[in-house]
């Protein structure tokens, strides 16, 4: 009987160690993959931005912008073929299968009639963020350049530091249930309202393959203005 118990215990110990080893190997491979595909130079230069700075515009509400990654990546493959730039490898490389990802979280002005009317670059041209900070939020925003650019253009208009901005994005994203297949705009709105009770009676926005969810200054979900505009 004791011998049987010892064998059983040995089996569980070996199985547990194999589980730990497999987990370590998986995460080390994932880490290595991130290091390979993340462009080391992902700084965003304000003077090169075609829209420019507007640090005086008032923030009246916020917009969480979600993007259907397969459609975005298909456009990139049509443009670049098999020669995707390093900046696109993590999101659109053959080993990555993202669905709905976050494009950004934007400060918005309700009187805006063009993109440049919204708050932008409120803290000016900011330095490149540490890579270890960027890597933490790649599951939600799978591009180092996009994370850096969204922080400089939009996040700095609502938070004093990038981590708080990225954490807000992550938390808002995790409150949502999202479909894992492509839908028409009408079907998408219907699906979102059915599967997210907080969106039941809310006016959502959309453009191309992107979905907009709007929040007031207290981070309560609100109707997106029908005339909203912004990037």
Annotate 137-201 with DSSP letters as a single string: TTTTS--HHHHHHHHHHTGGGT-SSHHHHHHHHHHHHHT----SS---HHHHHHHHHHH-GGGTT
pLDDT band at 7 (very low <50, low <70, confident <90, very high): low
Catalytic residue among 103, 118, 140, 152: 103
pLDDT higher than 60, residue 176 = yes
Catalytic residue among 118, 154, 167, 182: 154
Q: Domain residue spans in the chain? A: 38-222
Arithmetic mean of pLDDT, 97-116: 96
Catalytic residue among 118, 140, 150, 152: 150
Which CATH superfamily groups domain 38-222?
Ribonuclease T2-like (3.90.730.10)
Output the pTM of the full model.
0.82
pLDDT digits (tens, 9 = 90+) for 63-106: 999 999 999 999 999 999 989 998 898 999 877 789 999 999 99
pLDDT higher than 70, residue 15 = no
User: What is the predicted pLDDT for the residue at 13?
Assistant: 59
56 is catalytic: no
User: What is the predicted pLDDT for the residue at 30?
Assistant: 43
């Amino acid at each position: 009987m004791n011998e049987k118990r010892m064998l059983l215990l040995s089996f569980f110990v070996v199985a547990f160690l194999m589980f730990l080893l497999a987990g370590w190997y998986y995460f080390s491979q994932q880490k290595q993959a991130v290091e390979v595909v993340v462009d080391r130079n992902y700084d965003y230069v304000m003077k090169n931005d075609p829209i420019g700075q507007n640090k005086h515009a008032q923030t009246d509400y916020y917009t969480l912008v979600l993007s259907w990654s397969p459609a975005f990546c298909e456009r990139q493959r049509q443009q670049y073929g098999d020669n995707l730039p390093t900046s696109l490898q993590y999101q659109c490389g053959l080993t990555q299968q993202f669905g709905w990802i976050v494009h950004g979280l934007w400060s918005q002005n309700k009187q805006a009639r063009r993109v440049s009317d919204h708050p932008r670059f409120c803290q000016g041209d900011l330095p490149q963020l540490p890579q270890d900070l960027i890597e933490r939020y790649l599951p939600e925003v799978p591009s180092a350049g996009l994370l850096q650019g969204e922080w400089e253009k939009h996040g700095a208009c609502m938070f004093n530091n990038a981590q708080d901005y990225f954490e807000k994005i992550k938390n808002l994203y995790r409150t949502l249930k999202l479909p894992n297949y492509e839908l028409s705009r009408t079907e998408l709105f219907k699906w979102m309202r059915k599967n997210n009770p907080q969106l039941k009676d809310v006016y959502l926005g959309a453009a191309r393959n992107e979905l907009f969810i709007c929040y007031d200054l207290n981070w309560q979900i609100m109707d997106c203005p029908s005339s909203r505009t912004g990037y």
